[in-house]
């Protein structure tokens, strides 16, 4: 099977396609000046754009890992997630509190999807 890497650099690829499975790198909002609602929307927009670039969509997400800077943002993040996700095809999902790479980041979302 071939492996296709989307938007690679010296450290990582934004997505890797192996067979019919797509692995996305962690997605964050382009604009990290906003609150958790704003950043979650931005991260999900990037997830959606990368899935489209890889030939997939949010209805084919198999699993999602969501990292929050602070679990106090869990309900607000879920409000955005619940309005975005395909309710007929919810993925397996985990969520936890972690120290993210930069202090301005509130959420990072990683997904694995089918094509």
Whether 114 is catalytic: no
Q: How does pLDDT run across 76-106, given as a tens digit for each residue?
A: 999 999 999 999 999 999 999 999 999 999 9
CATH number of 3-114: 3.30.70.360, 3.40.50.300, 3.30.1330.40, 1.20.120.1200? 3.30.1330.40
Q: What are the sequence ranges of the domains in the chain?
A: 3-114
Q: Please tell me the distance from the alpha carbon of residue 77 to that of residue 82, in angstroms, as a whole number.
A: 9
- Burial label for 72, CB within 10 Å (0-12, 13-18, 19+), is exposed
Name the catalytic one among 76, 95, 100, 110. 95
Three-state secondary structure of 80-101 = HHHHHCCCCCCCEEEEEECCCC
pLDDT at 61: 98
Q: Give the tens place of pLDDT for each residue, 51-71.
A: 999 999 999 999 999 999 999
**Distance separating alpha carbons of residues 93 and 31, to the nearest angstrom:** 24
């Amino acid at each position: 099977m071939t492996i296709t890497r989307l938007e690679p650099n010296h450290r990582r690829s934004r997505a890797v396609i192996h067979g019919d499975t797509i692995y996305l790198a962690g997605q964050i909002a382009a604009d990290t000046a906003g609150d958790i609602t704003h950043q979650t929307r931005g991260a999900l927009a990037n997830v959606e754009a990368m899935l489209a670039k890889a030939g997939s969509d949010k209805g084919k997400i198999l699993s999602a890992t969501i990292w929050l800077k602070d679990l106090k943002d869990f309900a607000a993040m879920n409000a955005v997630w619940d309005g975005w996700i395909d309710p007929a095809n919810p993925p397996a999902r985990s969520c936890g509190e972690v120290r993210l790479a930069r202090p301005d980041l509130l959420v990072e979302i990683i997904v694995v999807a089918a094509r």
